[in-house]
Amino acid sequence: MRRKIVAGNWKMNKTLPEGKQLASEVINIVADEGPADVEVIINPPFIHLAPVVQLAAGQDKVKIGAQNCSEYEAGAYTGEVSAAMLRSVGVDYVIIGHSERRQYFGETSEQLAKKINRALEQELQPIFCCGEPLEVREEGAHFDYVCTQLTESLFHLTREQLARVIIAYEPIWAIGTGQTASAQQAQEMHARIRAHLATQYGEEAANKTPILYGGSCKPSNARELFANPDVDGGLIGGASLNARDFVEIVKSFS
């Protein structure tokens, strides 16, 4: 059976006091109500990470991730945060290649391949994001588009390295728009992603890789999305900013 994962991407939201409050609420509610078989991850902004890791100490149901890391190991890269720094504060996961990073900060597939390497060197688990813009879907080129993203940033990895990667399919037209992919659209893309992984790594490795859905996922639609055989959970933006909504999503596996 594959891992079930729900990760919250807070994006650039919450001051430090607000973020600590939200993290505490999530940790407390998950402790009381969280199903034992779901891996729960919260991804606050960089400067919240060290204090939030402290809040999460002494429990193992909620794990902490970052939203990005540098493609460089260390050195004169003003404003950047390295994978080794993340590891040193006790972070376990890092989101890489979110569409907002690609779109607004010009991150390329080649840079993302390097970020994946940096993360794996530090034993962080990358949550690698892929997903097509609306025009690409309207042209009917979405499967090829997403498979190319995977090929360009992941296919240099060994099978052992791939085993540490989590994939998140986030169609750009569904992010923050309230327009979710239908359960069928999510399932068919996830199945295609898995088939594409199998061409490079074999069926067994592909079958073990968790593939999360992201894009306007909320308590009212999570159950229908997670019920699909190739949807292994979600990467949640807006709804992860409310502890109750986020935990309702965590509880949405049938």
Nearest to 126 by CA among 88, 71, 74, 172: 71
Identity of the residue, 107 or 170, whose beta carbon is nearer to ligand 13P in the bound complex: 170
Phi, psi of 120 (to 5 degrees): -65, -35
Q: Bin 140: left if φ > 0, else alpha if -120 < ψ < 50, else beta.
A: left
Q: Which residues contact 202 (CB under 8 A, 6 or more apart)?
A: 159
Q: Say which of 100, 170, 190, 196 is annotated catalytic.
A: 170
Number of residue whose CB is nearest ligand 13P: 237
**CB of residue 183 to ligand 13P, shortest distance in Å:** 16
**CB of residue 168 to ligand 13P, shortest distance in Å:** 7
State the pairing for strand pair 62-66/93-96.
parallel
- Our answer to whether residue 73 is catalytic in this structure is no
Identity of the residue, 129 or 206, whose beta carbon is nearer to ligand 13P in the bound complex: 129
**CB of residue 73 to ligand 13P, shortest distance in Å:** 26
Q: Which residues contact 253 (CB under 8 A, 6 or more apart)?
A: 4, 35, 37, 38, 223, 226, 233
- Our answer to whether residue 142 is catalytic in this structure is no
Q: Which residues bind ligand 13P (CB under 6 A)?
A: 9, 98, 170, 175-176, 214-217, 235-239
Identity of the residue, 54 or 242, whose beta carbon is nearer to ligand 13P in the bound complex: 242
Q: Say which of 48, 98, 142, 196 is annotated catalytic.
A: 98
**CB of residue 99 to ligand 13P, shortest distance in Å:** 7
Phi, psi of 244 (to 5 degrees): -65, -45
> Do 251 and 226 meet the contact criterion of CB atoms below 8 Å apart?
no
Identity of the residue, 69 or 175, whose beta carbon is nearer to ligand 13P in the bound complex: 175
Which active-site residues does the annotation give? 98, 170
